[in-house]
């Protein structure tokens, strides 16, 4: 297939949405070419019987209205999911934006549910007409009950495909909700700390609006943060920021943490702890997966005897590559030489 069509059909992945989207997209974009190749292989007398049989089996599976409609549907659905999951892998992604992106994705599937299924059905019927794919099937009528209508006894092929597609989208939406429940819970606890400019510079934010958020946060991290102290420290930050120019007002949690550290450990202890907890929680598992990927590249079979300390140091240098490349090693070597230099008496 790679020699005939100049592309490779990709395998489905159980874990990566990008791989699933790529696998579906290749078949969707090259459906006609794949059908023509399978027809050629199934009728080629030079091929083995096993090859012709497998090609014919695949051809019969692909030349069905159900396959075509679901191929078009999943190409649309996985494209949207892939966009969101790529954003979730960004190191700059925070909990609020991740929760908003997932909510937008869920709303899109709910609002466009009928439109997506109808679009997939219409395009599937066009493809079926082009390739001569049957669009009707023999309906097996079930025995009707006393109050049952005739239309309830069976569905046409198109109606059945539409029903299954809508059920699939409903299940997908429910799965996304269940899997993002933890993220939504974190956003409800930390969300008020992410919008830093509104938190410390907006006049609409007051003690009454902040108190419920501080209480929920303190309940979640009992023993680390006190609700009333956290509230008072945020109000103190608002007081200190009133006379500062807008350019000096922190706009991100990282900048706000640096601001609190300038005043020492005793001035904003609860706010500093809350920000540190916020900044150490990863939005997705992408950062963890990157760490394991780096370890796999560093500790090869040729470095199997590497000790833990050296492995950890090399992993940090590899993960923080941007910071590592910005270091001027000449100045560091000069400083090291000056400290270790010994003056010889002449």
Structure-token pair, residue 241: 């920021």
Q: What are phi and psi of 116, to 5 degrees?
A: -65, -45
Q: Return the percentage of the chain with pLDDT > 90, whole number.
A: 30
pLDDT tens digits for range 115-171: 999 999 999 999 999 999 988 865 555 555 555 555 555 688 899 999 999 999 999
Q: Which two tokens stand for residue 222?
A: 């009992």
Mean pLDDT of all residues in 56-63: 93
**Nearest Cα to 193, choosing from 262, 285, 279?**
279
Q: Are 128 and 65 in contact (CB under 8 A)?
A: yes
Backbone phi, psi, residue 63, to 5° = -90, 55
Q: What is the pLDDT of residues 84-126, one digit of tens each?
A: 988 887 767 778 888 889 999 999 999 999 999 999 999 999 9
Query: Residue 287: which pLDDT band, with cuts at 50, 70 and 90?
Result: low
The answer to whether the CB of 95 falls within 8 A of the CB of 109 is: no
State in Å, rounded, how far the first CA of the chain is from the last one.
81
User: Three-state SS for 288?
Assistant: helix
Taking alpha carbons only, the member of 65, 306, 87, 277 closest to residue 186 is 277
What is the residue whose two structure tokens read 């090259």? Answer: 30
Q: How far is CA 317 from the centre of its chain?
A: 26
Torsion sign across C-alpha atoms 313, 319, 320, 326: positive
Local structure of 50: helix, strand or coil: helix
| C-beta contacts of 80-85 below 8 A and 24+ residues apart | 80/105, 80/108, 80/109, 81/17, 81/21, 81/105, 82/17, 82/18, 82/21, 85/17, 85/18
Residue 132 backbone class (left: φ over 0; alpha: ψ -120 to 50; beta: rest): left
Span 257-282, average pLDDT: 86
In this model, does residue 72 exceed pLDDT 90? yes
Instruction: Retrieve residue 109's tokens.
Output: 């599937």
CA distance 198 to 252: 11
- What angle is formed at CA 299 by the lines to CA 294 and CA 302, rounded to 5 degrees? 145
Whole-angstrom distance, CA of residue 159 vs CA of residue 165: 10
Contacts of 94 (CB under 8 A, 6+ apart): 194, 253, 283
The Cα–Cα gap between 76 and 100 comes to 20
Report residue 341's pLDDT band, with 50, 70 and 90 as the boundaries: low
Please compute, for residue 149, the number of CA atoms within 13 A of its CA located in the half-sphere on the CB side. 3
In the structure, what pLDDT confidence band is assigned to residue 345 with cuts at 50, 70 and 90? low
Whose CA is closest to 187, among 115, 95, 123? Answer: 95
| Contact yes or no for 161/121 (Cβ under 8 A) | yes
- The alpha carbon of residue 193 and the mean position of all alpha carbons in its chain are separated, in whole angstroms, by 22
DSSP 16: -
**CB 250: neighbour CB atoms within 10 A?**
20
Token code pair at residue 196: 């830093």
User: The whole model's pTM is what?
Assistant: 0.71
Average pLDDT, the chain: 84
């Amino acid at each position: 297939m790679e020699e005939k069509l100049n592309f490779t059909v990709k395998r489905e992945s159980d874990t990566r949405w990008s791989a699933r989207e790529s696998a579906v997209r290749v078949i969707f974009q090259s459906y006609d070419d794949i059908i023509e190749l399978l027809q050629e292989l199934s009728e080629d007398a030079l091929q083995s019987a096993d090859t012709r049989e497998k090609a014919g089996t695949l051809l019969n599976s692909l030349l069905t209205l159900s396959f075509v409609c679901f191929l078009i549907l999943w190409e649309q659905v996985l494209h949207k999911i892939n966009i969101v999951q790529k954003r979730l892998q960004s190191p700059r992604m925070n909990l609020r934006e991740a929760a908003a992106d997932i909510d937008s994705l869920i709303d899109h599937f709910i609002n466009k549910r009928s439109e997506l299924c109808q679009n997939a059905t219409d395009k599937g019927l066009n493809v079926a007409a082009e390739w001569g794919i049957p669009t009707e099937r023999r309906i097996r009528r079930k025995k009707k009950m006393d109050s049952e209508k005739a239309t309830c006894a069976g569905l046409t092929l198109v109606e059945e495909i539409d029903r299954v597609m809508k059920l699939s989208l409903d299940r997908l939406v429910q799965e996304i909700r269940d899997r993002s429940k933890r993220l939504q819970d974190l956003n409800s606890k930390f969300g008020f700390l992410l919008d830093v400019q509104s938190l410390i510079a907006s006049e609409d934010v007051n003690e009454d609006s902040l108190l419920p958020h501080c209480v929920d946060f303190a309940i979640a991290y009992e023993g680390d943060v006190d609700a009333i102290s956290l509230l008072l420290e945020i109000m103190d930050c608002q007081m200190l920021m009133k006379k500062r120019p807008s350019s000096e007002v922190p706009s991100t949690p990282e900048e706000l943490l640096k601001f609190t550290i300038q005043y020492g450990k005793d001035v904003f202890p609860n706010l500093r702890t809350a920000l540190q907890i916020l900044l150490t929680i990863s939005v997705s598992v992408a950062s963890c997966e990157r760490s394991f990927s780096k370890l796999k590249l560093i500790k090869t079979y040729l470095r199997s005897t590497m000790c833990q300390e050296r492995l950890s140091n090399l992993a940090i240098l590899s993960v923080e590559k941007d910071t590592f490349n910005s270091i001027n090693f000449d100045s560091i070597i000069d400083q090291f030489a000056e400290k270790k230099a010994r003056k010889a008496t002449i």
